[in-house]
C-alpha cells in the first residue's frame, strides 16, 4: 500500500480483518502505533483514538505473494532464504557477511534497500534463528556476535517478552494466569516444574531462544552446489551486456566443476533487478556439462526466447548469478586422434634441437611424451570438440623436456609410394596411391587399427560427436530443451515389454537412458512404423499354424515370396485380460518387394478354433 502511495507513508494506516464476526486491526504502521493503535484492537476503538486512520481490508494472498517476492530478492545476499510467515524472512548468512563488509554493514544494506522499495523492515542477526526472530520483533539489539558466551545470550533473552517465545496456546494461558511477563521469569524457575506445567514443546522453544539448540530453516530453493555471480554498481539493461556477463559466469563456473570432477545437469541463472524484481532462467542438460561454450549456448537460447516475449529489464540488473543446481560425476575427457585430420610434424626433440630429417618422400614422425608428474598435454582439438590440425601442431610444439619421460611413440600410417610434395596422380592410372582407407601399412597399428574398427562398427547416418559418442545429438536435445522446454523434447525409450505396442514409450530426451543400454527381447527385426491399431487382413495358409501364402489388405492381393518367423508373443498372464490370445508374428515379403509385419491372433487347437490375421506394421 505504501509503495503505491508514497505520499501517505507517514499517515496513520492499518489493515483490518474479520474475526468472530467483528472487525479488528491486523497490522499498523509506525504512525498508527504512535497513536496508541495496536494489532487486535477493534476497528471502532481505533477510529475513536485516531479519527484520520486509513483502513484497508487485509488480503492474505497478496501478503503471501509480496513476502515471497521479498524472499526471492533476499537471495542476492545468500542462497539460503526461508519464509517466516506471516511477516518475516529468515536468512542464513553464515560465511556470506564478509562479502558485504561485515555483519553490521549487511544489516544496514538490507534495511536501506528495502526502504528504497517502500518497505520498512526490522533486522537482527544472532547465532540461532529463534533468537534472531525474537530480536527482530521484540528486542532492541540488532547484532549478537556468534562467539558471545551463553550467559550473556541468556541475559539478552531474559529481557524479551513471553510473546517472543511463541508458546502454544494452552501454555500461553497458564503463563498469563501465573503472572509471568518475560523470558527471565521462566529462567528464574526450576526446569522440572515448568516441563510438568507447560510441556516439553515450550521448553524446546526456550532452548532454541537461548541458542542451546538450533532449529533448521527450510529454504525456498535448495542450495546450489556451485555458484558464480557478478555485481555491478549500475544495472545492466542491454541484452548484449547480459549475454557477455553470462558467458563470463560460465567461464567462472568451469574451474570448481573441474576441481570436483563433476558436470552440471541443471543450471539456473538469476537476474536481480535494482527495483527488487527477480527473474530466473532454468535449463537442463542431457548429460553432465562444464564446457563454458555449451553452457552459454543453452543460456543464450533460453534468454533469446525471453527476449522475444519481452524481457523487462526495468532499471537494470545489478546482480547476475549462475548456479549449478544439479551436478553429476564427469571424468576427464580423452579426445581421440583423427587420422584424416592429423598433420604430421617432427617430434618436439627435433624441433628443439633444430635438426630435422624431413625429406619429400620421408614424412616426419609424431612423438608424444608424457610423464607422471608432468602438466597435462594440451588437446589436439579445439574447444567444443572441433578437430583442428593447427591446434595439434601448436600442442606438439609446446611440449617440454619434462614431458618426455615414459615416451609413447605414435606413428601415422602412410600409403605406399606416397610423397606429400608431389601432386596426386590420376586415380585411373596404374600404380596410383590407394584411396582413403585402402592399402595403408601402419608402422604401429594399435591406435589406428582400433580407430578404423570403431568407424567400421558405427552405422551409416549416425550423428557422431567428439569421443565417438552422441555428443551432437545431445547438443541438439539440449538446445531444443532450452528453447521449448526439456519436457517437450521426447525420444522413444524401449521398455521391458514383449508386446510391440508397449515395447516403447515417449520419455523426455534429456533424462531418458540411451536405447543401446536397454535389453532387446525381440529375436526378429521389427519395423519402425507400427499402426496405432492393427488392421485385419484376409490370409490363406497351407497349414493352420503355417505362414500366409497370400493375403488381401486394403482390397489389394499380395502373393508371399519370402517370409521369416514365426515369433510367438504370449500375453502376460499377470495383467492381461481373459480374452487375450497368443500372437505369431511373421516378416513377409511379397513378389513386388514390399515388406509387411503380419501376425496371427490365436493358436489353432490351443486357445482358439479360428485364427485371425492382422498387419501390424510396414518396413
Please report whether residue 498 resides in a domain.
yes
| Residue 358 near residue 307, CB atoms below 8 Å | no
Based on the fold, state whether residues 295 and 372 are members of the same structural domain: no
Nearest-Å Rg of the Cα atoms of the chain is: 37
pLDDT tens figures, 210-248: 998 888 888 888 888 899 999 998 888 888 899 999 999
In a domain, 573, yes or no: yes
In a domain, 442, yes or no: yes
pLDDT of residue 341: 47
Give pLDDT tens digits for 188-197. 888 888 888 8
Burial 332-365 (b: 16+ CB within 10 A, else e): eeeeebebeebebbbbbebbeeeeeeeeeeebbb
- What percentage of the chain carries pLDDT values higher than 70? 73
- Residue 477: count of CB within 10 angstroms of its CB: 23
For 439, left (φ over 0), alpha (ψ -120 to 50), or beta? left
Verify that 512 and 533 share a domain, yes or no: no
Give the relative orientation of helices 239-260 and 292-309 as an angle to the nearest 10 degrees.
150
Cis, peptide link before residue 86, omega less than 30° from 0:
yes
> Is residue 535 located within the same domain as residue 594?
yes
Mean pLDDT of 107-122: 90
Angle at 182 between CA 176 and CA 187, to 5 degrees: 105
Lowest mean pLDDT among 9-13, 118-122, 336-340, 433-437: 433-437
The domain of 553 spans 529-618
* Beta carbons within 8 Å of 308's beta carbon, 6+ residues apart: none
Say if 422 falls within a structural domain: yes
Supply the CATH number for residue 22's domain: 3.40.1170.60
pLDDT at 429 over 70: no
Residue 468 banded pLDDT, cuts 50, 70, 90: very low
- Does position 143 have pLDDT exceeding 50, yes or no? yes
555-559 long-range contacts (CB < 8 A, ≥24 apart) are 558/588, 558/590, 558/591, 558/592, 558/594, 558/596, 559/590, 559/591
Q: Is the bond leading into 566 cis (omega within 30 degrees of zero)?
A: yes
Confidence of residue 271 (pLDDT cuts 50, 70, 90): very high
Whether 417 has a pLDDT exceeding 90, the answer reads no
> 3-state DSSP call for residue 589?
strand
Task: Pick the closest to residue 405 from 434, 370, 357 (CA basis).
Answer: 370
- Looking at residue 155, its pLDDT comes to 92
Tell me: do 534 and 505 sit in the same domain.
Answer: no
Beta bridge partners of 614: 536, 599
As a whole number of angstroms, the distance between CA 569 and CA 567 comes to 7
510 and 563 together in one domain: no
Q: What span, in angstroms and rounded, lies between the C-alpha atoms of 164 and 157?
A: 9
CA distance 506 to 489: 9
Taking residues 88-93, what's their average pLDDT?
A: 92
Q: Which of 452, 480, 497 is the last residue of a domain?
A: 452
Task: Report the candidate in 374, 380, 370 with the shortest Cα–Cα distance to residue 344.
Answer: 380
What's the pLDDT score for residue 463? 40
Looking at residue 97, what is its pLDDT? 86
3-state SS assignment for residue 19: strand
Please count the other Cβ atoms lying within 10 Å of the Cβ belonging to residue 121: 17
Same domain, 441 and 410: yes
Q: Are residues 278 and 362 in the same domain?
A: no
pLDDT at 295: 92
Question: What whole-number distance in Å separates Cα of residue 328 and Cα of residue 511?
Answer: 13
Q: What is the structure's pLDDT at 83?
A: 92
- Please state the φ and ψ torsions of residue 112, each to the nearest 5 degrees: -65, -45
* Strand positions, DSSP E, 103-152: none
Mean pLDDT of 515-539: 72
Highest mean pLDDT among 425-434, 509-518, 533-542: 533-542
Q: Is residue 388 pLDDT above 50, yes or no? A: no
pLDDT for the residue numbered 132: 93
Say what the pLDDT of residue 171 is.
87
Name the E strands within 517-555.
529-541, 548-553
Largest CA distance in the chain: 115
Query: How much is the pLDDT for 18?
Result: 87
CA 455/CA 338 separation, integer angstroms: 11
Tell me the pLDDT band of 250, cut-offs 50, 70 and 90: very high
The alpha-helical segments, DSSP class H, found in 122-182 are: 129-138, 150-158, 169-178
What is the average pLDDT value for the chain, to the nearest integer?
76
DSSP state of 608: B
pLDDT level of residue 269 (50, 70, 90 thresholds): very high
Q: Which of 335, 327, 334 is nearest to 257 (CA)?
A: 327
Is there a contact between 154 and 187 (Cβ–Cβ < 8 Å)? yes
Q: Look at residue 71 in the predicted model and tell me its pLDDT.
A: 92
Residues facing residue 13 across a β-bridge = 54
In this structure, are 501 and 577 located in the same domain? no
Q: From the centroid of its chain, how far is CA 280?
A: 13
Ranges of H-type helices in 188-291? 191-198, 200-209, 239-260
Q: What is residue 379's DSSP assignment?
A: P
Q: State how far the Cα of 582 lies from the Cα of 447, in Å rounded to an integer.
A: 51
pLDDT at res. 274: 87
Q: Tell me if 64 sits within 8 A of 85, measured CB to CB.
A: yes
Which residues, at least 6 apart from 380, have a Cβ–Cβ distance to it below 8 Å?
335, 337, 342, 387, 388, 391, 392, 395
More confident residue, 76 or 310: 76
What pLDDT does 353 receive?
52
Q: CB under 8 Å to 466, separation ≥6 — which residues? A: 333, 335, 336, 381, 385
The predicted-structure confidence for 322-345, as pLDDT tens digits, reads as follows 999 999 998 776 555 444 444 444
Residue 534 lies in a domain: yes
Same domain, yes or no, for 281 and 371? no
Task: Quote the pTM value.
Answer: 0.61
**Local confidence band at 400 (pLDDT 50, 70, 90 cut-offs):** very low
For the chain, helix (H) and strand (E) counts, in that order, are: 16, 19
Sequence-separated (6 or more) residues with CB below 8 Å from residue 448: 337, 339, 412, 413, 442
Asked if the model's pLDDT at residue 172 lies above 90, the reply is: no
More confident residue, 430 or 531: 531
Residue 130: inside a domain: no
As for how many domains the chain has, the answer is: 5
Q: Do 513 and 533 share a domain, yes or no? A: no
Q: Is residue 22 scored above 90 in pLDDT?
A: no
Q: How many CA within 13 A on the CB side of residue 1?
A: 18
Give the 3-state secondary structure of residue 20: coil
**Together in a domain, 510 and 546:** no
pLDDT of res. 334: 56
For 440, list phi and psi in degrees, rounded to 5: -80, 145
How sure is the predictor about 458, in pLDDT bands with cuts at 50, 70 and 90? very low
Q: How many CB atoms lie within 10 A of CB 455?
A: 12
With left for phi above 0 and alpha for psi between -120 and 50, is residue 162 left, alpha or beta? alpha
Residue where a domain stops, chosen among 261, 294, 329: 329
Percent of the chain scoring above 90 in pLDDT: 26
Helix (H) or strand (E) holding 482: helix 471-484
Looking at the fold, whether 512 and 543 belong to one and the same domain comes out as no
CATH number at residue 302: 3.30.1490.100
* pLDDT at residue 460, rounded to an integer: 36
User: Residue 180 falls within a domain, yes or no?
Assistant: no
pLDDT of residue 524: 59
- Model pLDDT for residues 59-69, shown as the tens digit of each residue: 888 889 999 99
Residue 232 lies in a domain: yes
Amino acid at each position: 500500500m505504501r509503495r503505491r502511495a508514497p505520499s501517505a507513508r507517514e499517515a496513520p494506516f492499518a489493515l483490518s480483518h474479520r474475526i468472530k464476526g467483528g472487525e479488528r486491526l491486523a497490522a499498523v504502521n509506525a504512525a498508527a502505533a504512535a497513536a496508541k493503535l495496536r494489532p487486535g484492537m477493534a476497528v471502532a476503538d481505533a477510529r475513536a483514538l485516531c479519527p484520520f486512520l486509513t483502513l484497508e481490508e487485509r488480503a492474505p494472498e497478496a501478503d503471501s505473494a509480496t513476502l515471497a517476492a521479498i524472499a526471492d530478492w533476499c537471495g542476492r545476499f545468500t542462497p539460503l532464504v526461508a519464509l517466516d510467515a506471516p511477516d518475516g524472512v529468515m536468512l542464513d548468512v553464515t560465511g556470506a557477511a564478509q562479502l558485504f563488509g561485515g555483519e553490521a554493514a549487511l544489516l544496514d544494506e538490507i534495511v536501506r534497500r528495502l526502504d528504497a522499495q517502500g518497505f520498512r523492515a526490522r533486522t537482527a542477526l544472532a547465532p540461532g534463528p529463534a533468537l534472531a526472530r525474537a530480536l527482530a520483533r521484540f528486542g532492541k539489539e540488532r547484532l549478537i556476535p556468534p562467539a558471545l558466551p551463553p550467559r550473556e545470550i541468556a541475559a539478552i533473552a531474559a529481557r524479551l517478552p513471553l510473546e517472543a517465545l511463541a508458546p502454544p496456546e494452552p501454555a500461553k494461558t497458564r503463563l498469563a494466569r501465573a503472572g509471568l511477563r518475560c523470558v527471565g521469569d521462566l529462567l528464574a524457575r526450576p526446569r522440572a516444574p515448568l516441563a510438568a506445567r507447560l510441556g516439553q514443546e515450550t521448553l524446546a522453544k526456550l532452548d532454541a531462544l537461548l541458542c542451546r539448540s538450533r532449529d533448521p530453516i527450510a529454504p525456498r530453493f535448495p542450495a546450489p552446489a556451485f555458484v558464480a555471480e557478478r555485481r555491478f554498481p549500475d544495472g545492466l539493461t542491454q541484452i548484449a551486456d547480459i549475454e557477455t556477463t553470462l558467458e563470463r559466469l560460465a567461464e567462472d563456473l568451469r574451474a570448481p566443476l573441474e576441481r570436483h570432477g563433476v558436470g552440471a545437469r541443471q543450471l539456473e541463472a538469476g537476474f536481480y533487478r535494482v527495483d527488487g524484481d527477480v527473474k530466473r532462467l532454468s535449463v537442463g542438460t542431457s548429460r553432465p556439462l562444464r564446457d563454458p561454450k555449451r553452457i552459454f549456448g543453452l543460456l543464450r537460447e533460453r534468454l533469446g526466447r525471453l527476449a522475444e516475449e519481452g524481457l523487462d529489464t526495468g532499471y537494470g540488473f545489478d546482480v547476475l548469478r549462475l548456479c549449478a543446481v544439479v551436478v553429476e560425476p564427469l571424468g576427464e575427457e580423452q579426445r581421440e586422434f583423427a587420422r584424416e585430420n592429423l598433420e604430421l610434424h617432427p617430434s618436439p626433440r627435433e624441433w628443439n634441437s633444430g635438426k630435422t630429417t624431413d625429406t619429400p618422400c620421408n614424412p616426419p614422425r609424431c612423438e608424444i611424451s608424457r610423464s607422471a608428474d608432468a602438466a597435462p598435454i594440451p588437446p589436439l582439438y579445439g574447444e567444443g570438440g572441433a578437430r583442428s590440425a593447427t591446434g595439434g601442431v601448436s600442442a606438439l610444439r609446446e611440449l617440454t623436456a619434462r614431458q618426455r619421460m615414459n615416451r609413447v611413440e605414435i606413428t601415422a600410417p602412410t600409403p605406399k609410394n606416397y610423397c606429400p610434395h608431389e601432386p596426386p596422380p590420376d586415380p585411373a592410372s596404374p600404380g596410383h596411391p590407394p584411396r582413403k582407407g585402402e592399402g595403408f601399412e601402419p608402422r604401429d597399428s594399435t591406435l589406428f587399427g582400433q580407430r578404423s574398427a570403431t568407424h567400421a562398427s558405427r552405422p551409416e547416418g549416425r550423428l557422431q560427436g567428439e569421443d565417438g559418442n552422441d555428443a551432437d545429438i545431445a547438443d541438439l536435445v539440449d538446445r531444443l530443451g532450452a528453447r521449448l522446454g526439456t519436457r517437450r523434447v521426447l525420444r522413444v525409450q524401449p521398455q521391458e515389454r514383449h508386446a510391440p505396442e508397449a515395447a516403447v514409450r515417449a520419455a523426455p530426451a534429456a533424462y531418458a537412458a540411451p536405447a543401446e543400454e536397454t535389453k532387446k527381447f525381440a529375436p526378429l527385426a521389427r519395423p519402425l512404423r507400427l499402426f496405432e491399431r492393427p488392421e485385419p487382413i484376409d490370409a490363406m495358409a497351407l497349414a493352420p499354424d503355417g505362414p500366409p501364402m497370400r493375403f488381401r489388405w486394403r482390397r489389394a492381393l499380395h502373393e508371399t515370396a519370402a517370409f521369416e518367423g514365426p515369433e510367438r508373443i504370449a500375453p502376460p498372464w499377470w495383467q492381461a485380460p481373459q480374452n487375450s490370445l497368443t500372437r505369431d508374428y511373421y516378416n513377409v515379403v511379397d513378389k513386388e518387394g514390399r515388406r509387411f509385419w503380419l501376425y496371427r491372433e490365436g493358436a489353432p487347437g490351443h486357445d482358439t478354433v479360428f485364427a485371425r490375421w492382422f498387419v501390424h506394421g510396414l518396413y
